[in-house]
Structure 1
Amino acid sequence: MHSETTTTIEAGKRGEALSGAERRERVLGILSQTQSLVGLVLVGAIFAILSDAFLTEYNLLNILRQSAVTAILAAGMTFVIIAGGIDLSVGSVVALTGVIAAGSMRDGTPVWAAVLIALAIGLAFGAVNGVAVAVLKIPAFIATLGTMTIGSSVALAYTEGLPISGLPEAFTYLGQGFVGPIPTPVVIAFVVVVLCAVLLRRTLIGRYAFAIGGNEKASFLSGVRTTRWKITMYALLGVLGGIAGVVLTARQNSGQPTAGAGIELIVIAAVVIGGTSLSGGRGSVWGSIAGAVLITVINNGLNLLNVSPYFQGMFVGGLILLAVGLDWRNRKTSD
């Protein structure tokens, strides 16, 4: 009898400990997912106080327009990082798909066909990244660094280093037009983000992204086709890179072979600031979007305050260090 009582008490204590650990993990998860939103509100309030121009309708729409391309890419990057990967090639995909779409229209291809070509190239690029990482087992950083270089070189070779201009008005509408009072890029980004948020939380690709990022070996042993799903996630990001390339090219009214240069770091920063763990297994699309908007707000506000662009990177860099530090602390605490 005494033995049974002792066993029951010990089991109860283990249950309480487990419940406490689960509660702590849940709280840490909530904090990590909301940190970008809290930061966005605080930073926005500061700039609203310091600059009368910040909260004007024109400036707010400008912030959303400037955030659109980053938001599209961040939505796709969230899947890859949650699954434990990373993709440095998104900037070159934006440039390559943009110049090929522009070149296709220059040669007489209809707008709709040029857009589909851009998406197909993005899909192929993403699939190559996925195969390199999931099948060939090349570390994601190295594999995507290689494809980044290839994509940039192909874009430069295709254009001979020169922009492709004279694009049809029906195409530039995708980057410069309005749907009612809302800029078209913002509408496109919103649709992409909503779809990605649903995919992450309501479908198999999202469920398996969390599973693979949490423990890839255990996921494989439990029957998840980890190789196929990792390729799918990189391919999804490639397609979104094509969409971003189309939107950016339309906004600039020309295909620039250097468009998107360095944007991969901004996108990764947005995802990390948004609470997605670099070690995988945790994150959200909406957090990443808040991170993307936060970075844009910082740059916009500093411009309004006439802060030199040479110093603006210091603020974003400090924010990244803070986000990574919080992620590291959360992981240590949860362990």
Structure 2
Amino acid sequence: MKSESSLDSPGHEAPVEQQREADHTGGSRTNSEPVAPTRKVVSSLGLHRLVIFVPWALMIAIFAGLRPHTFWTTGTVQAILNSQSSLVILAIAIVPTLVVGDYDLSVAANSGLVSTIVATVTVMDGWPLWAGIVLAVAAACAVGVVNAVLVVVLNLNSIIMTLGMATLLDGVALAVSNSQTLSGVSSGFTDAFTHLYFGIQISVLYIIVVALVVAYVLQASPIGRQMTFAGQSRAAAVLVGIKTHRIRLGAYLAGSLLAALSGIVALASQGGISPGLSETQLLPAFAAAFFSTVVFTIGRFNAWGTVAAIYFLTTGIVGLQILGATGWAADVFYGAALVLAVAGFTLVRRRLTGSKD
């Protein structure tokens, strides 16, 4: 991923502070002084932080107008909120590696492997639930470490390596489950994620907690600022003393842990596993992650924008299904969403950096 400049990068901070100091002391700006673009960019893009909500509201209005008695109901809202918990967490799992300038295409397969391991060892082999979860999470972390070694230590292409890892994990999951559909997980385990409060599953609360933690780490903690700096300009980050190798390794590990949580939530929500289900999750998850760059925090991957994007996409899919669209509609919608999201990210990045690349 190409290096990018940022509003918060050290290269912009000094001129801004110098100008503030000059203004405060009565000094005047000369033509030779650098002009910081911070205020101009922030003011011009302020409304763009909510850009996704305009088409979202329009989409809701269209579906509600066409099918008021089926779409514009409490049941539809509950279905949208309750059906996407695992996908939301999976999309958030993609964010850490994107922030540091890498890609992890194996998160969906890693999530599916976790679901498969827990279901197989508990339902078929009689393991205690906690033991199955520990084993599955350990396997997910091992995948994250292997990805980090291949990409960070050996300096191999992150897209190719993690895509290959995804294919490998899908094969391992099929082998572990013997390509069977498994059900019968503990009802207590299922209830811990699907219990309803006012019609909303408790897993929605877990989404809020995960998003809060990830958002805090990325936007308010020193490690988050280092991750952002490393993703924008890895060479510059090294020069100022940031250990980019450790940062990137941690991003892969964090993504794997979140993928494991997504797999656990998926298993509990569905009450079992179906072979190949995880393969359908990668596209919408990446679309949501890229959409986050034009929501709330412009030009940067973020957790809350990812959450909003998932529910935006889900609203479209549910609306199309209510209108009678067949299975192909979801693929078309998600594919178009990813194209638009990447295009939007690229255009916003160019506007922020002034680059045409």
TM normalised by structure 2 equals 0.83
Runs (5+) with no aligned partner, structure 2: 1-26
Partner residue, 1:230: 248
Distance in 2 between residues matched to 1:27 and 1:76, nearest whole Å: 31
In structure 2, the partner of 1:47 is 63
SS at match of 2:278: coil
Whether the 8 Å CA contact 2:287–2:338 is kept in 1: the answer is: yes
Structure having the larger proportion of residues in helix: 1
Alignment map for 1:300-311 (pairs within 5 Å): 300-311=318-329
Q: Is the 8 A contact 1:32 1:275 kept in 2?
A: no
Structure 1 residues 188-238: Cα deviation after superposition (integer angstroms, max 9, x where no partner): 222211111111112233212211111011111111111111111111111
| Aligned pairs (5 A) from 1:17-96 | 18-19=35-36, 21-27=37-43, 30=46, 33-52=49-68, 53-96=70-113
Whether 1:264 and 2:244 are equivalent positions in the alignment is no
Q: Kindly tell me: are residues 112 and 188 of structure 1, through their superposed partners in 2, closer, same or farther at Cα, counting changes over 3 Å?
A: farther
Deviations 1:81-118 (A, max 9, x none): 12111111111111110010112212232223322332
Alpha-carbon distance in 1 for matches of 2:325, 2:243: 50
Letter in 2 for 1:296: T
Cα separation, partners in 2 of 1:34 and 1:135, compared to 1, 3 Å: farther
Check whether the contact 2:99–2:301 (CA below 8 A) recurs between aligned residues: yes
Please state how far the C-alpha of 1:14 moved relative to its aligned partner. Answer: 5.3
Structure 1 residue 23, shift from structure 2 partner: 2.8
Distance in 1, matches of 2:280 and 2:112, equals 11
Question: CA 1:273/1:281 → structure 2, altered by over 3 Å: closer, same or farther?
Answer: closer
8 Å Cα contact 2:113/2:172 also seen in 1: yes
Which position in structure 1 is the counterpart of 2:118?
A: 101
Paired residue type of 1:176: T
Provide, for residues 257-301 of structure 1, a one-character-per-residue CA deviation record: whole Å limited to 9, x for no partner.
Answer: 323113112111111122269xx9722211111111111111011
Q: Secondary structure at the match of 1:306?
A: coil
Whole-angstrom distance in 1 between the partners of 2:260 and 2:196: 21
Amino acid at match of 1:98: S
Distance 1:179 1:134, change over 3 A: farther
User: Displacement, 1:185?
Assistant: 2.4
Distance 1:321 1:88, change over 3 A: same
Q: Structure 1 CA distance, aligned partners of 2:328 and 2:130?
A: 39
Q: Say which of 151, 168, 171 aligns to 1:150.
A: 168
Offset at residue 22 of structure 1 (A) = 1.8
Give the paired residue count. 323
- 1:240 pairs with 2:258: yes
Percent of pairs identical after alignment? 28
Question: Are positions 1:116 and 2:138 aligned together?
Answer: no
- 1:131-170 matches, cutoff 5 A: 131-170=149-188
C-alpha displacement at 1:33, in angstroms? 4.2
Q: How far apart, in 2, do the equivalents of 1:330 and 1:129 lie?
A: 29
Q: Is the 8 A contact 2:90 2:108 kept in 1?
A: no
CA contact (8 A) 2:183 2:272 kept: yes
Work out the CA distance in 1 between the residues paired with 2:198 and 2:130: 22
Q: What is the aligned partner in structure 1 of residue 273 from structure 2? A: 255
Displacement of 1:30: 4.6
**RMSD of the TM alignment (CA)?**
2.4
Matched position secondary structure for 1:86: coil
Is 1:173 matched with 2:188?
no
Q: Structure 1 residues 82-91 or 118-127, which shifts more?
A: 118-127
Query: In 1, Cα distance between the equivalents of 2:325 and 2:188?
Result: 37
Residue 182 to residue 311, structure 1, CA distance change in 2 (3 Å): closer
2:325 partner SS: coil
Residue 110 to residue 61, structure 1, CA distance change in 2 (3 Å):
same
Give yes or no for contact 2:180–2:274 (8 Å, CA) kept in 1. Answer: yes
User: Cα gap change, 1:14/1:64 in structure 2, threshold over 3 Å: closer, same or farther?
Assistant: farther
Structure 2 CA distance for aligned equivalents of residues 35 and 14 of structure 1: 36
